A and B are shown apart, each in its own frame.
Chain A
Amino acid sequence: MTRTVLTVDDSRTMRDMLRMALAGAGFNVVEAVDGEHGLEVLSAHRPDVIITDINMPKLDGFGFIEAVRVDDDYRAIPILVLTTESDPSKKQRAREAGATGWIVKPFNPEKLVEAIRRVAA
């Protein structure tokens, strides 16, 4: 069965990169441009895994993760955050907010797929 991955990132480049890597690995990809949009798309598509950026307008990654985790319908969806090595505090904050795991940018398509496989049922 095809798994659906929701990618939430305000950068079109990043969304395209994720789409390329994920679609290439056989995932169905849905996209959102910020946290708020992410919550809307979430209810429409019920993804198996969510990948989210942290720095976004409107609702940032932390707020988005928290919002997903307090919703009984979605709290069990694994969420991977996109982080950079240079900011360990962000990763920590994202984990506290309820992130399942993380992907370090710039990411390698195999690592990305590996990370999803690791958290997806």
Chain B
Amino acid sequence: MDELEAIKVTFFQECEELLADLEGGLLAMQDGNDDGDTVNAVFRAVHSIKGGAGAFGLEPLVRFAHVFETLLDALRSNEIPGTPDLTALLLRASDVLADHVSAARGLGVVDMDVSAAMAAELKIATDPNAAPAAPAPVAAAPVDAAPQYVDAAPIVIGADDALDDDDLGFDFQPMTITLDAQAADAAVLDGNVWTVSIRPKSDLYRKANETALLLRELSRLGPIQATLDDSALPALEFIDPEAAYVTWSVRLETDQGEEAIREVFEFVDGDCELEITRGEAPAADVLASLLDVAAPAPELAPAAIEAPVEAPVVAAAPAPEPAAPAPVSAPAPAPVAANAPAAPAAKPAQIDVPGPGQSVIRVDPERIDRLIDLVGELVINQAMLAQRVGEYGIAPSSNLAMGLDELEQLTREIQDSVMAIRAQPVKSVFQRMPRLVREVANMTGKQARLVMDGENTEVDKTVIERLSDPITHMLRNAIDHGLESPEERKAAGKNPEGVVRLAALHRSGRIVIEVQDDGKGINRERVHSIAVKKGLISPDLQLTDEEIDNLIFLPGFSTADKISDVSGRGVGMDVVKRSVQALGGRISIASRPGQGSTFTLSLPLTLAVLDGMVVDVAGETLVIPLACIVESLRPKAEEIRPLGPVGSVLAVRDSFVPLIDVGLTLNYRDRSPAATEGVVLLVEGEDGSRAALVADAIHGQRQVVIKSLEQNYQQVEGVAAATILGDGRVALILDVDAVINLRRRGPPLPSDPTLIAAE
């Protein structure tokens, strides 16, 4: 990758972080933390985005960021007061800024009307007296042409100048320079000898500038001859080492104009008295005429500071002093060899430590993925080796067996460490949510405040990437269906602003995401009647409150009378549930009338490995995810009751659970052996329904590396994924829910005690 492109990637990564900081700061301000540090941090975030965008020539982004920054600058310098309304405006502006960043990145487009309107609002907030009628330049520029995010030349020198013209009304006139330049050109025609008189003030040295360096710079324009006038030098005992006493007079021969000479003194403007005259000797009239040319300068001075080349040197120059010494009269002529600059006061030692300021290593994620794959292979190989050794009947106390144990330990540790490298805090997903909540609340007329917890909870990258959609849906649902309107809330004696809490935590080796609202809770009667009306359940089915709540996950269920733009988007909770299940996760809802609902989503910490129970079914080895297994048992004959023509149920304590022969369901065999001859695994499906899976034998529990079937083949119903066992053979990982569903669909079971999902 091109180095600049790589920096651009960094820039957009940094933008993500800065946008998160920006939003975090604004939210803190919303909560009343508007101390100077917070406001400064908010300002810096926008400032840095603008700075980077300027370097890459991302014009529309720079323009918008500039207007935004100007307002924030006014806020932090207390020119305007901070108010809740202003913070709300800033939050909305941060959303627009985020859109600009995305657009600059090539992801999505900015609604330029929205951007222009926002820019106009920001300007009015910055300066209420600004004429709002004036067309917003931000709108004007990019509307006609699509924002030009084509790779512009990376370095745009004039970016800020253009901005100032358009946006700030800074009305400086670079014309003054043209005047100087013309004067300089004239000088060249006359001859190319100049006399430059430099009288440094002590400030020049205080800022680590050096006259020697100025002379060196002058010598780049042409041959110089420098003379030192030290007549002002006091006697040694009176010398202030920090003061400046000498005047240099330099004869310069150059074909460059005066502008080029002045540029040499750009950094010492004001820190030395400078006279530049054409010709050998500083004839007073020449100097006077030069000053004449620059006569209007005083009026332009404030603007001229802005000019890329510092014109005001002339304006600031003192009245022509006869003191300017003629070179001939210099008592101690000390011609300085132009190319031999004096040694600086303190020559810093060169230290060969190239270490950058940070101890963070950035690594291509693909390398880590590769490493994780390899460690997966190592785990499998180690297991294979252990199994072979076991087959040879080597005693567990032998050196070989003990060495293998250690190898296993190490392998497991390596695997954990490598997984930890790829683990990321859920923050990256969470930080997108405040904006979502604002937008959904706006759209639905609700007032909602998002409270987040556990943003630093870490989870494997493979899972992080899949969290965003379900969280988005749960939040939308919580605001759209959970929260009441402000009026309803007031009537119910609640704060008109509803609270939605998004939390992440680790629980028993899984990551749990909770979305909780303090709304009205699920209207169970209504949910039940809809489910009946849509034929999802039979009317006389008795359901617990919890079961009714979870009906909203049934395919084809949607409580919204019409598909609303917010929760709907053509996607129901059933789709969310299915996508969660595909990841080996589960989702459920609990609700209390009048007090709100809680969605709970749990997912494995990684999609790379899984804890499973290895079982035998009809000569095949299968892995059942441990997370689904409630218990394993050996059923007694009297606990098994036939139900209907083919089905049977297992009595587990005081409830009856359908018995499912895995071999039969997956078509490994035509008829099931007696359940009493096998082992029963009591499993729980994602909807909380239980089933008793019959297997022939259990081999024990094992962590397995998940392998995709889809990579080279396709999804197979009833199978979640594959893995490779210690003997080197592929074993399939059972999709418990799919097996339960297959059974329900399979040979008709009229008395199926649980819900009948509509197909």
What is the interface of chain A, defined by CB distance below 8 A to chain B? 1-2, 4, 10-17, 19-20, 28-33, 37, 41, 44-48, 55-57, 69, 73, 75-79, 84-86, 88, 95, 98-102, 104-109, 111, 118-121
A88 touches B358 (CB 8 A): no
Residue from A33, A57, A118 in contact with B267 in the complex, judged by beta carbons closer than 8 Å = A118
Complex CA gap A10/B51 in Å reads 11
Our pick among A55, A99, A120 for the contact of B44 (Cβ within 8 Å) is A55
Say yes or no: A78 contacts B209, CB within 8 Å.
yes
Q: Identify B7's interface contact among A4, A20, A99, CB under 8 A.
A: A20
Interchain CB contact (< 8 A) of B353 among A2, A44, A73: A44
- The residue that B207 contacts in the complex, of A33, A37, A47, A99, with Cβ under 8 A, is A99
A98 in complex: contacting residue of B6, B156, B207, CB < 8 Å: B207
Alpha-carbon gap, A87 to B319, bound state (A): 30
Q: Ordered nearest first, which 8 A-B pairs have the shortest CB separation?
A: A101-B267, A121-B344, A31-B357, A13-B52, A46-B348, A13-B11, A106-B54, A85-B160
Chain A contacts for B306, CB-based, 8 A: 85, 88
- Decide if B155 touches A13 in the complex (CB within 8 Å): no
B158 to chain A, nearest CB (A): 9
Given A13-B52, A41-B357, A88-B305: A77 and B156 within 8 A (CB)?
no
Measured between alpha carbons, how far is A37 from B357 in the docked complex, in Å?
A: 8
- Identify the closest chain A residue to B37 (Cβ): A57
A4 to B159, CA, bound (A): 29
Contacting residues, chain A, for B582 (C-beta < 8 A):
none
Q: Which of B40, B41, B163, B354 contacts A28 (CB 8 A)?
A: B354
0/1 string, B184-227, CB within 8 A of A gives 1: 00000000000000000000001111101100010000000000
Minimal beta-carbon separation of B208 from chain A (angstroms): 5
For residue B236, CB closer than 8 A to chain A, the reply is no
Q: What residues on B are CB-neighbors of A47 within 8 Å?
A: 348
With A16-B10, A46-B348 known as contacts, the answer to whether A30 contacts B355 (CB < 8 A) is yes
Contacts of A109 in B (CB 8 A): 155
Find residues 41-85 in chain B having any chain A CB closer than 8 Å to their own CB.
41, 43-44, 47-48, 51-52, 54-55, 57, 66
A44-B353, A57-B41, A76-B346 known; A119+B267 contact, CB < 8 A: yes
Residues of A within 8 A of B40 (CB): 55, 57
Name the B residues within 8 Å of A4 (CB-CB): 348, 350-351
Determine which residue in A4, A12, A14, A33 has the highest number of CB atoms from chain B within 10 A of its CB, and name it: A12
Query: In the complex, how many angstroms separate the beta carbon of B13 from the nearest chain A beta carbon?
Result: 8
The smallest C-beta distance from A116 to any residue of chain B, in angstroms, reads 11
Q: Would B48 and A10 count as touching, CB distance under 8 A?
A: yes
Closest residue to B157 on the A side, CB-wise? A108
Does B710 lie at the interface of the complex (its beta carbon under 8 Å from any beta carbon of A)?
no
Residue pair B160, A86 in contact (C-beta under 8 Å): yes
Residues of B within 8 A of A78 (CB): 208-209
How many angstroms from the CA of A78 to the CA of B208 in the assembled complex?
A: 5
A12 adjacent to B14 (CB under 8 Å): yes
- Pairwise interchain contact A46-B10, C-beta atoms closer than 8 A: no
In the bound complex, how far is the Cα of B352 from the Cα of A96, in angstroms? 33
Question: B145: CB under 8 A from chain A?
Answer: no
Given B47, B55, B270, B348, which contacts A17 in the complex, CB threshold below 8 Å?
B55
With A86-B163, A99-B207 given, is the CB distance from A121 to B343 under 8 Å?
yes
Other contacts beyond A17-B55, A20-B7, A120-B213: 9, CB < 8 A: A1-B350, A2-B350, A16-B7, A28-B352, A30-B355, A46-B351, A78-B209, A102-B267, A121-B344
Say whether B348 contacts A77, CB under 8 Å: yes
* Contact status B160-A13, CB under 8 Å: no
Residue of A nearest to B73 (CB): A87
Q: Mark B330-354, 1 if CB is under 8 A from A, else 0.
A: 0000000000010111111111111
**A-B contacts, 23 listed (Cβ < 8 Å):** A1-B350, A12-B14, A15-B357, A16-B10, A20-B4, A30-B353, A44-B353, A45-B353, A46-B351, A55-B40, A55-B43, A57-B44, A69-B206, A77-B208, A85-B161, A85-B164, A95-B207, A98-B206, A101-B266, A105-B55, A107-B55, A107-B157, A118-B217
Query: How many residues of chain B are within 8 Å of chain A by beta carbon?
Result: 62
Given contacts A4-B351, A30-B356, A121-B343, contact A14 B208 (CB under 8 A): no
Which B residue's beta carbon lies closest to that of A16?
Answer: B7
Which chain B residues lie closer than 8 Å to A108 at the CB level? Answer: 155, 157
Q: Verify A86–B164 contact, CB threshold 8 A.
A: yes
Separation in Å of the B588 CB from the closest CB of chain A? 41
Bound state CA distance, A1 and B345, in angstroms? 18
- Please name all residues of chain B whose beta carbon is closer than 8 Å to the beta carbon of A17 when the two chains form the complex: 7, 52, 55
Chain B residues, CB < 8 A from A32: 357
- B391 lies within 8 A of chain A by Cβ: no
Asked if B267 and A46 make an inter-chain contact with CB atoms under 8 angstroms apart, the answer reads no
Interface centre among B57, B161, B346 (most CB of A within 10 A): B346
CB distance from B176 to the nearest CB of A (A): 15
Report the Cα distance A90→B200, complex, angstroms: 23
Note all chain B residues with C-beta closer than 8 A to A95: 207, 270
- Least distance between B269 CB and chain A CB atoms (Å): 9
Least CB separation from A69: chain B residue: B206
For A73, A75, A111, which residue has the most chain B Cβ atoms within 10 angstroms?
A75
Which residues from B are CB-within-8-Å of A121? 210, 212-213, 341, 343-344, 347
B10 partner, pick from A13, A73, A85, A102, beta carbons under 8 A: A13
**Shortest CB distance A33–B (Å):** 6
Inter-chain contact A106/B351, CB cutoff 8 Å: no
- B-chain residues with CB within 8 Å of residue A56 when the two chains form the complex: 44
User: In the assembly, what is the distance between CA of A121 and CA of B376, in Å?
Assistant: 56
CB-nearest residue of chain A to B8: A13
Q: Decide if B55 touches A14 in the complex (CB within 8 Å).
A: yes
Contact residues in A for B164 (Cβ distance below 8 Å) = 85-86
A98 shortest CB reach to chain B, Å: 5
Cα–Cα, bound, A22→B270 (Å)? 29
Q: Tell me the complex Cα distance, A118–B218, Å.
A: 10
* Minimal Cβ-Cβ distance residue in B for A31: B357
Q: Let me know if B3 is at the binding interface, CB within 8 A.
A: yes
On chain B, the residues within 8 Å of A37 by CB distance are 357
Q: Which residue of B lies closest to A2 (CB)?
A: B350
Tell me the complex Cα distance, A28–B354, Å: 7
Q: Which residue of B lies closest to A80 (CB)?
A: B267
**Chain A: which residue is nearest B342 at the CB level?**
A121
The distance in angstroms between the C-alpha atoms of A98 and B213, with both chains bound, is: 17
Min distance, Cβ B524 to any Cβ of chain A, angstroms: 52
Q: Which residue of B lies closest to A50 (CB)?
A: B208
Alpha-carbon distance A108/B308, docked complex (angstroms) = 13
Q: Which residues of A contact B13 (CB under 8 A)?
A: 12
User: Shortest CB–CB separation between residue B177 and chain A, in angstroms?
Assistant: 14
Q: Flag whether B124 is at the interface (Cβ < 8 A).
A: no
B213 vs chain A, min Cβ distance (A): 7
From B54, B168, B208, B355, A79 is in contact (CB under 8 Å) with B208
